[in-house]
Structure 1
Amino acid sequence: MSSESGQNESETLPARIRRWIGSRWRRFNAWRRGRPFLGGLLLCLAGLLITWVPMRILPDIAFIGGEMAGFLAIGALFGVFVFLSGLYALSRPARAHGAGVVGIILSIFSLFGSLGGLLVGMLLGILGGNLCIAWKPSGDAVDEAVSEPSVIDKAAARINAGFARLVGTIVLGCRAGLERITRRGTDE
């Protein structure tokens, strides 16, 4: 009988492992869906590429001494900050828009200090930053044509209508004044 119970335990072990892996995978997918995962991942990869280029050259130039060491150090810092903006987008999804903007700007500036990670890092940073800017949480994905305007939209429409009336009044006054001036000019 002990061989049967041992056989049952060995059969259930893969099932336990599959359940354990499956639960972990579901948790990861739930975490991933709640944030700009691909955008943050591309920003992190871009940061690594942007940092890699000056770190390959910087030790040699720093040892020899040269004016390029400062540019390379700044390029390495740009890469580190692009990487950190990707991590920030992943850890704070509510602020992914700002992290994307910072990632794009630093990726473009990395062109000066580290050749933009041989241009590949810069392009990945721009793409990742754009994905972070464009990302919206799944709860916010509501069709705008179906939803009613918000209170802010209604207030903005009232302000816009009032502004249009004011501009219309000013335009009519200006036209009347111009007509008076042209009549005076023709009368004289």
Structure 2
Amino acid sequence: MNPQAPVYVRAEDDAWLTVAWYQFHAWRGRRPFWAGLFTFVSGFPIAYFPYADLRLGNLSLAMATTGGAGALIIGVLLITLGLALWFQQAIRVFAGVASILLALVSLPVSNLGGFGLGFVPALIGGALALAWVPGQPGDEEPADQRQGGLDMAKAEAMAGLQDFPGQRETEMPAHASETTAHADGGRNSAG
């Protein structure tokens, strides 16, 4: 998808929705969005399951553990790290390492990391946060290159022109002697 492509809107009612979508898409592209989403989502099952109880008729199944407060702290920290990845990209390495460590700690503390529903997304989110690198803005290309046209010198250099025998850049000109080549370190004195 080309971010500079024109946006064509079918109806005026959809204009705000299209603009909002493109703004969200641009916002999402400048930060570790998926890392933040996985880390954010992983905090909920880790914090929820130690306090959850399942009722089947008269039977109540409680999953409370001794580490209930620890599970709540881990869950809230993962939610906070997920939000921090969205709004503070500079801490992505810290947040990635912290979410992986919190996911590992949630295994014994919080019912096997929320029965894996919190453990696995926390590991994925931490790995994505560590792998994400901010993009570098590209240099503005000249108008002839944007349109696909190249000047002849660049086209010849890219093609290599292997059909035509001739002097290469590393070869010495015909008038240079062996002592001239040694005097300038093997470099071409003419060019």
- Please state if 1:26 is matched with 2:57: no
- Please state if 1:74 is matched with 2:58: no
Mapped contact 1:100–1:129 kept (Cα < 8 A): yes
Q: Which moved more, 1:91-100 or 1:25-34?
A: 91-100
Unaligned runs of 5+ in 1: 1-13, 58-67, 142-188
Mapped contact 1:47–1:79 kept (Cα < 8 A): yes
What TM-score, normalized by structure 1, do the two folds share? Answer: 0.59
> How many equivalent pairs are there?
119
What is the DSSP-based 3-state SS (H/G/I as helix, E as strand, rest coil) of the residue aligned with 1:120?
coil
What TM-score, normalized by structure 2, do the two folds share? Answer: 0.58
Match of 1:48 in 2: 44
Percentage identity across paired residues of the two chains: 33
Q: 2-side partners of 1:109 and 1:51: how far apart?
A: 13
Match of 2:175 in 1: none
1:55 Cα shift? Answer: 2.1
Mapped contact 1:79–1:107 kept (Cα < 8 A): no
1:21-63 deviations in whole A, cap 9, x for unaligned?
A: 1111111001000111111100011111111111215xxxxxx
Q: 2-side partners of 1:46 and 1:122: how far apart?
A: 7
- Please state if 1:131 is matched with 2:131: no
Match of 2:108 in 1: 112
Q: 1-side partners of 2:44 and 2:136: how far apart?
A: 32
Flag the structure with higher helix content.
Answer: 1
Unaligned runs of 5+ in 2: 1-9, 54-63, 139-191
Residue 50 of structure 1 aligns to which amino acid in structure 2? I
Q: Quote the RMSD (CA, aligned, Å).
A: 2.1
